[in-house]
A and B are shown apart, each in its own frame.
Chain A
């Protein structure tokens, strides 16, 4: 009996951890922007979906492999992020508390309708020959896309973590997030640092978009739901910690698959949102936050 329950649980747990990796991948960029600028970039989900569509366009017109297309996607999104922060958001921060939020919301609307105009509202998906089918993990088999997303999330998380710890720019970003005026006093150009932070966040959104597109079908409005999930991830993981974000993703992924296992597939998203809401109300600084 117990053995059966445990072996039954094995699959949702493995799936939850892998799915959590994808969630963490989506949330990493949001976490950087939130941690550094205290801005909830509500356009993050749409920027990610836009990245998925960009890879889709390259895949369908020139047959470029989605993961390979990131060699174009990452620099493009990096530049896009830099421009958004430098020319739009930096001005918004000077206006009022709500202004950046409202502007991010406007950008989200623009992106949603832009993707709808270019690629129609129909559901799309990314394909790669090596990502088809499943792969055996112990006593169960999981889709290869899940495993790929998890590995990608782990790599991006570790790269970001080391970048923030070791490089000059990374340290400057951390300094600016901890104390803006203090950072300025020691000669850090916070405006520039913000722009780089936003650009890095967008580059991770491009990566997340590709792996998301490989895993799930997407429509122009898919971004909103995943924005909330990504926000839940960083709330659970705590601010500014890359490892915390990764753990937060896995917690949320497990929440989803386990509640799906026990309560049925229809209830799983409701349960995820409930968890996000409860954590927000009880511990807004995050489960692992200071």
Chain B
């Protein structure tokens, strides 16, 4: 009996241990003298992963093709500016950035959820464009010389190094993965799945469509905002053009679509590829964008379910073949 139990436990423990070990290894990377470039790309990986995860929650699970993540990230970045310019600590800026992004999401949810399908997509595409002009005009802190098109430096982060940025990004990346797991296995996740398949059917079987979408939207906005604030702590500088930029959407879209939209592992696989592409193509500037655009089109045409979806289909086929073979 003892032997039997010993045989069973290690497998479960292994499953549990693997992520823990992985996180521990990732966490000690900056201490053991990993090259700065590596840390930088890992930092970007975690930030992008968080954004892609949240975008996947919206587009892949909630039926919200949200084209304005730049709005949330830019708002969070500017919240960070306001917080740090008022001599408050930077971590309040991260939390504040998340809260402002979430509040903004709740605010625009009322008009945008009225828009169906493609209208929602375009309605949310307009939002960052409009906000960019708001921050050209509105100078929340500082004198005449700062703000507007010239942008702001982020204050109060002088004591921080890449190690701290890295840990922040690692933390939010892990939070986003766990959050996805929890949400998808909760009642909210079930409701979202129903909405994703057919919001009318979901509504008629008692799912409060608006409320569940709102929850998903606000949660995703909070985490995306916090990740955006962490990015701007690293960047140290924010300006309307780069903050409310379509680039953010591109990262979320690429990572999710390449990995597999509507799959939990998709954004992880996709973000690895996106960051790797950034690393490979960093020297080529515009050509890098060209290749990323081409990859987006090719993946969507040939493997619309993404890499994870493809692997799943293949292994399922393989498994069912195996089952057929072993049964006979």
Contacts and interface: CB of A to CB of B under 8 A. Distances in A.
A, B in one complex: yes
Interface string A271-290: 00110111011001000000
Given A102-B257, A113-B290, A280 B126 contact: yes
B121 A101 contact: yes
| Residue in A121, A231, A284 whose Cβ sees the most chain B Cβ within 10 Å | A284
A231 B116 CA distance: 15
Interface in B287-315: 287-290, 292-297, 300-301, 304
Contacts of A106: 293-297, 300
Given A101-B118, A109-B250, A109-B292, A281 B112 contact: yes
Contacts, number: 117
A110 B294 CA distance: 7
A271 to B, nearest CB: 9
Interface residues of B, number: 42
Nearest to A96: B304
B289 A109 contact: yes
Contacts of B304: 95-96, 99
Interface string B3-29: 000000000000000000000000000
Interface string A104-130: 011111101110110001000000000
A117 B286 contact: yes
Given A113-B290, A280-B123, 17 more contacts: A38-B118, A95-B300, A97-B117, A102-B300, A105-B250, A109-B290, A110-B293, A113-B286, A121-B286, A224-B246, A228-B126, A266-B136, A267-B137, A273-B126, A273-B133, A280-B126, A281-B115
B328 interface: no
Contacts of A42: 125
A274 B59 CA distance: 24
A113 to B, nearest CB: 4
A9 interface: no
Contacts of A105: 250, 253, 296
Nearest to A95: B304
11 contacts: A95-B304, A106-B297, A109-B250, A113-B289, A113-B290, A114-B290, A117-B286, A121-B286, A270-B134, A280-B119, A281-B114
B133 A40 contact: no
Nearest to A42: B125
| Residue in B114, B116, B126 whose Cβ sees the most chain A Cβ within 10 Å | B126
B62 interface: no
B50 interface: no
A102 to B, nearest CB: 5
A270 B293 contact: no
Interface string A227-258: 01001100000000000000000000000000
A52 B297 CA distance: 24
Contacts of B118: 38-40, 101
Complex A-B, nearest 10 residue pairs according to Cβ-Cβ distance, in ascending order:
A109-B293, A281-B111, A106-B296, A273-B130, A113-B289, A106-B297, A270-B133, A113-B290, A110-B293, A116-B286
Contacts of B208: none
Contacts of A232: 126
Contacts of B134: 270
A88 B293 CA distance: 14
Interface in A74-109: 88, 91-92, 95-99, 101-103, 105-109
Nearest to B127: A277
A269 interface: yes
B66 to A, nearest CB: 11
A274 B293 CA distance: 29
The dominant DSSP class at the B interface is helix
A277 B133 CA distance: 14
B129 interface: yes
Contacts of A88: 297, 301
B126 A277 contact: yes
Contacts of A182: none
B65 interface: yes
A273 B114 CA distance: 18
Contacts of A269: 133
A25 B114 CA distance: 29
A136 B249 CA distance: 45
A38 B122 CA distance: 13
A88 B300 CA distance: 10
A106 B65 CA distance: 15
A88 B112 CA distance: 30
| Residue in A38, A113, A225, A231 whose Cβ sees the most chain B Cβ within 10 Å | A113
Interface in A157-172: none
B300 A110 contact: no
| Residue in B65, B288, B289 whose Cβ sees the most chain A Cβ within 10 Å | B289
